[in-house]
Every structure is written in C-alpha cells, then in structure tokens.
A and B are shown apart, each in its own frame.
Chain A
C-alpha cells in the first residue's frame, strides 16, 4: 500500500472512518378489497379466507382472485384458529429493528381448511422443539387491542395434539 500524504490541515484531526447512509422508503400501502375484507375479519377475531370457484382452493390472506384459474374468489370461508406448521425458521441472528428476543421461530402455518400457509411466530415452546407437522393454535391479543392487522394474532402455540402426518400437508410445503 502506497503512502497517502494528507494535507497539513488534516494531519492532526480525527479522520472520518465510517459513513451512515440510511435508505428510507415511505410507502402508503393499500391492502386492496380482498385483503381489506380479511383484515377487518381479523379485527373481529375471525380468520376469513376466500375460495376459488374452479379449483376449490381456499386462500388466506385472500388476494381476490385465484392465481391458478384467474377468476375471482367469490366465496368467503371462515377458518379455524388451528393449523399445522409446514415449514419454519429459527432466527438466531440479531439485526437492526428486531423486536424479538433470540432465538425465535417464524413459521408457515397451514390453517385447517386452508390451502395456503399463513406466516406467523411460534412461541410457548423451545425453538429446538418446533417441527414440521406440529399442531398449533392462534394466540390473539386482548380483545380491546384487536385491530385490522395480522399482529392481532400475537403468535401460534402448540395445541399438544399429535403431529399431523406429512402426507396431510406435503402439497403445501
């Protein structure tokens, strides 16, 4: 490395070594009609999916149409508050803005009666005991804190039922 000679005026001052370059994007997110129906259900402690009239699959959260058949999902379906962990991730790494104590578990929960998994946290169980097929139930915030946001479901906890057989959710992994 060759020598970089600083001007005299900079030799006795503290050099700049780091730069903070925050990138911030301010959006206004519009949920759309179908997801708004879902979120307003959440505010009433109901999990509302929508069924495709062609393939009969139930989507949750609904986006208003079936991505396979390209038709509106015209039928609303109220789903159970129980489901099966199809896949999960144990988070062990600290990052900026993190609200959770480590380690914690993010999972995809296939609700009973649904055909697509819902993203959530799995708690009330050691991280290393979470597994595919584990049966879980929704733990909601207190009623007065219910709002049209998925954080109204605080987390999912094991029901204690026997694990669901792999075949029952293999199409959803």
Chain B
C-alpha cells in the first residue's frame, strides 16, 4: 500500500451556551457591572459570595443581599505559569480563593501578582475593575495585591461581616 503523508487540520468545537441567570445571579452580575459586589446572607448568618439562590444547608430560598468591600483576603492559591487564551490575564498569575471583606466564603479569581514569590495565603488583595463591564465575572479584571503591611494573617474562616 502506498505510504501517504499523514494529514492534520484544525478542528474547532464551539458551543455557544447562553443561559438566564436567575434573580440572585442577576443582582450579583448587575452589581459587578456597576462596580458593586454583593453577597447573600444564609440562614445561619454567614454571608456567601458569590451569592447563591438557595441556602446550602436548609435549601431555603435566600433573599438578603449584602454589599461587600472591594478588598479581601487570599485563603488559598495556585500559580498559573503559562496562561491559556481567554484566561483572565495573558501573563503568569495566581488563581486564588479570595474572601472579600464582609463575606464568609471565598470566590475564585485571578491575582495579578507578577511572581509566585509575591503570593501568600492571608495576603490582602483588592479588585481591579475591567474598563468595559458587561455584567459577567470578567467585570472584575483581576485582583491585585494590596501594598505591604496590610497582611491579614492566614485567616480563620470566621466571618468578618460587620
């Protein structure tokens, strides 16, 4: 049988998902667009951010939105040395769980820290807003480290809601 050159070609699979967001995520995403971060108060008093529609323990519908700060604390993180297309930043960054001030749970986002040496658990970070905001999680372009001397320690997981 003749030897043939082995062929290859780009193959793109694309699923253009579009979904309705529901009332709680609608509030959260509208808030991001307006540079305001919202959590929601659970039945046990904890403030969850990102907010959820139903209580994770009781299943009750939740309705008490809580305005949060734009600064927070890194609870854990992982370094991304080679970002892929469409990730939050096009240079190495940290994926981090960030507990915003006023919240009791942490949200996943990127920290533009430059090098892994400048990341630490307990580190204070603040939101860098995207210039063009559309009502999506990318409206927070990323987080950036707060100036030195603002470290909050490793954090206890206790609520800091005021």
Contact = CB atoms under 8 A, between A and B. Distances in A.
A142 B6 CA distance: 24
A36 B9 CA distance: 11
Given A7-B65, A7-B67, A19-B136, A28 B23 contact: no
B14 A39 contact: no
A10 to B, nearest CB: 5
B61 A2 contact: yes
Q: How extensive is the interface on chain B, given as a class?
A: 35 or more
B34 A30 contact: no
B12 to A, nearest CB: 6
B9 A6 contact: no
A10 B7 contact: no
B1 A74 contact: yes
A21 B18 contact: yes
A155 to B, nearest CB: 21
B155 to A, nearest CB: 26
A87 interface: no
Nearest to B38: A7
A24 B4 contact: no
Nearest to B23: A4
B6 A13 contact: no
B63 A18 contact: no
B63 A3 contact: yes
B15 A37 contact: no
A interface: dominant SS? mixed
Nearest to B15: A23
Nearest to B27: A6
Contacts of A18: 18-21
A78 to B, nearest CB: 12
Interface string A1-42: 111111101100111111111111111111111011101100
A19 to B, nearest CB: 5
A148 interface: yes
A28 B10 contact: yes
Given A25-B14, A37-B1, A7 B31 contact: yes
Contacts of A29: 8-11
B57 interface: no
Contacts of B25: 16, 19
Interface in B20-43: 20-21, 23-27, 29-31, 33-34, 36, 38
A7 B27 CA distance: 9
B20 A17 contact: yes
A27 B13 contact: yes
B21 A16 contact: yes
A3 B6 CA distance: 62
B116 interface: no
Contact of B33 (A16, A25, A36, A74): A16
A126 interface: no
Given A37-B2, A76-B2, 7 more contacts: A9-B34, A18-B20, A21-B17, A23-B14, A24-B14, A25-B14, A27-B13
Interface of B: 1-21, 23-27, 29-31, 33-34, 36, 38, 61, 63-65, 67, 86, 135-136
